[in-house]
Structure 1
């Protein structure tokens, strides 16, 4: 997994300093990973903004509660299957992603069957991207 081939497109801003500190920690470890923040709105307007910010060669990964969750190892293996392709992970706003955007996604991913604030979901996604990188590199960060 190459972090420079991934972007996170997130609706809303991080308001909690401790969440931002965690995100910054993992961004230092995942050189090249970029986060695009979009303004909160309705799911339809957010979908338009997300689609406008997608690059033509990116595959859309929609984070959503209804998708099947993966273990960290299965997540790493799925990332490995995409090889050198570019991925855009989308974290929606408080009302989630529009049905149309979900339907466009190449991959629908759930971080948990539990509900978390979107700020936490962003931090958890970044941590799982780092964990996946260490799993694929055979480094000892993951202790399952």
Structure 2
């Protein structure tokens, strides 16, 4: 299985990017991982919230295939603790899917078309995090999940 993370807009903070790079490297020891950045939409000041979500949705859907399992990072999604999340990852790997795609949407969330394609929603917290930081949190939790599955000492129970 491959895990892909899709996000809108590049990370501007160099320290944050260095941490993301570090966890991507760590994660690559366990699974094939892809991180795909969708460029920010130009002239968003001229777009309504709905138009911006629609344009971002079209870009997101252009990056996935019909066989991908789409998981949206959404404030209304299911919440797991880290051990439950590792079990979720194991179940997805056992299901035979080729690619599990996590998507971090834009500032207004996802278009209806993206919601129609998703298989599930995941919330990392009831709190709101910046779109920059959530990338690090997702990749770190993926890494943590795989260390739990391998009974490695990174996660303390």
TM-score, scaled to structure 1: 0.92
Report the structure number with the largest CA radius of gyration: 2
Measured after TM superposition, the shift of residue 17 of structure 1 is 0.9
Equivalent of 1:65 in 72, 75, 79: 75
Partners of 1:102 and 1:108 within 8 A in 2: no
Q: State how far apart, in whole Å, the 2-side matches of 1:23 and 1:116 are.
A: 15
Query: 1:97-116 to 2 correspondence within 5 Å?
Result: 97-116=110-129
Matched, 1:78 2:91: no
Q: State how far apart, in whole Å, the 2-side matches of 1:133 and 1:76 are.
A: 6
Report the aligned-residue RMSD: 1.3
Query: 1:17-56 to 2 correspondence within 5 Å?
Result: 17-31=14-28, 32-41=32-41, 42-56=52-66
Q: State how far apart, in whole Å, the 1-side matches of 2:18 and 2:86 are.
A: 24
Q: State how far apart, in whole Å, the 2-side matches of 1:75 and 1:45 are.
A: 31
Measured after TM superposition, the shift of residue 18 of structure 1 is 1.3
Where has structure 1 moved over 6 Å in runs of 4 or more?
Answer: none
Partners of 2:77 and 2:120 within 8 A in 1: no
Q: State how far apart, in whole Å, the 1-side matches of 2:83 and 2:118 are.
A: 22
Give unpaired runs (5+ residues) of structure 2: 42-51
Partners of 1:39 and 1:46 within 8 A in 2: no
Q: State how far apart, in whole Å, the 2-side matches of 1:102 and 1:112 are.
A: 20
Matched, 1:96 2:109: yes
Measured after TM superposition, the shift of residue 28 of structure 1 is 0.9
Measured after TM superposition, the shift of residue 58 of structure 1 is 1.1
